[in-house]
Amino acid sequence: MSKRIGVLTGGGDCCGLNPAIRGAVYRAYDYDYEVFGIRDGWRGLIDGNLFKIHLQDVEELIDKAGTFLGTSRTNPFKIDDGVNRVLNTINNYGLDAILAMGGEDTLGVASKLYKEKGVSVVGAPKTMDNDLSATDFTFGFDSSVTRGVEAMKSLEDTGKSHHRVMILEVMGRHAGWVALYTGLSSGADWILLPEEKPDIEGMCKQLQRVYSRKKYALVVVSEGIELPGSGEEEEELDQFGHMILKKREIGQTLGDIISEKTGIETRHAVIGHMQRGGIPTVFDRVLGLRTGVKAVELIEQQEFGKLAALKGNEVIGIPLEDATSKIKTVNQEWIDLAKVFFK
């Protein structure tokens, strides 16, 4: 009898998810598996919301952002009877294995279901934040940074014309990879990351120095940084205990500080969720396809509890536990590299 597998996507959507689903379904076709799409992440297994996926459903997904399966930030371990309902759905549909595509939270649930409940699960590494350990890159990151760099180009055009400091606030609650890569590749004059306490005096001096040379300056700030006056309101938490950053307006607060301290006119823009959509880059398309294919190969080889991870230029299976025990943040070496360009 052919195997039945279920595929889900959890957490924030990003580019590369649809290509990854496509890769998984195409590989499953080789093994004659039946593939079920699980709607809206772990929520679909709690509610029994699944549908059969055919090759023609995924054929044209290569260049589409988002996830055609839908997603949510649902944690079955935080919902009454959630885990039992997940197990019942797996049983009712006769699923032999689950492929979970997600970041630290979604894969953390996968790892727990594998370890504590013996569920046959494998993972694929998605997240625009690139903060998943044990994989060199996650799909979604490259496209998000590309959106950020495009936005910086527009800010540079207008900032140069008006002789202003222009700030772009990008996503990244706990890890600054998106801010770092956006800043480095757009020639930003200062970058603020959640990993480092902001050096307001150093930043203002640097912006004045740059301004005296080119009459404008560019700053990238991660939404997750702490500034005097930010984060005073009580933050709402999601089911994984992460802050929902809707009201912090870090770009605005930073702009006020810069204009007050330097006397230079300053404007800011928040890229927000635009950073998660658009046209997936070639890198994300190919990484999505490769990890989707590899994840199904892990199922075929009965290598459960593993993640299809990028190591160098190889996609290999590594334990989900290694990927989810702590997030990957920007280290000092990277921070020092960024500082080379603050002159």
Active site residues: 129
Terminal C-alpha separation, the chain: 65
Give the closest residue to 139 by CA, choosing from 126, 129, 148: 126
Residue from the set 12, 16, 23, 125 that interacts with ligand F6P by CB under 6 A: 12
What is the rounded CA–CA span in Å between residue 173 and residue 243?
8
Q: Which is nearer to ligand F6P, 174 or 205 (CB)?
A: 174
Pairing of strands 266-270, 165-170: parallel
Taking the complex as a whole, the smallest distance from the CB of residue 315 to ligand F6P amounts, in Å, to 22
What is the rounded CA–CA span in Å between residue 135 and residue 152?
28
Residue from the set 160, 173, 261, 267 that interacts with ligand F6P by CB under 6 A: 173
Question: Which residue matches tokens 């998660």?
Answer: 276
Token output for 63: 């260049």
Taking the complex as a whole, the smallest distance from the CB of residue 284 to ligand F6P amounts, in Å, to 14
CB 224 within 8 A of CB 172: yes
Interhelix angle 17-30/282-300, rounded to 10 degrees, is: 40
Q: Which is nearer to ligand F6P, 13 or 189 (CB)?
A: 13
Q: Which is nearer to ligand F6P, 172 or 305 (CB)?
A: 172
Taking the complex as a whole, the smallest distance from the CB of residue 12 to ligand F6P amounts, in Å, to 4
Please tell me the count of residues contacting ligand F6P according to CB under 6 A: 10
What is the rounded CA–CA span in Å between residue 15 and residue 153?
21
Taking the complex as a whole, the smallest distance from the CB of residue 175 to ligand F6P amounts, in Å, to 8
Taking the complex as a whole, the smallest distance from the CB of residue 201 to ligand F6P amounts, in Å, to 28
Q: Which is nearer to ligand F6P, 15 or 217 (CB)?
A: 15
Binding mask 117-136 for ligand F6P (x = CB under 6 A): ----------xxx-------
- Around Cβ 237, how many Cβ atoms within 10 Å? 10
Token output for 269: 């823009």
Binding mask 214-233 for ligand F6P (x = CB under 6 A): ---------x----------
Which residues between 244 and 263 bind ligand F6P (CB under 6 A)?
Answer: 245
Report if residue 171 touches ligand F6P, rule: CB under 6 A. yes
CB-based burial, 44-64: b 16+ in 10 Å, e otherwise: bbbeeebeebeeebbeebeeb
The binding site for ligand F6P (CB under 6 A) comprises: 11-12, 127-129, 171-173, 223, 245
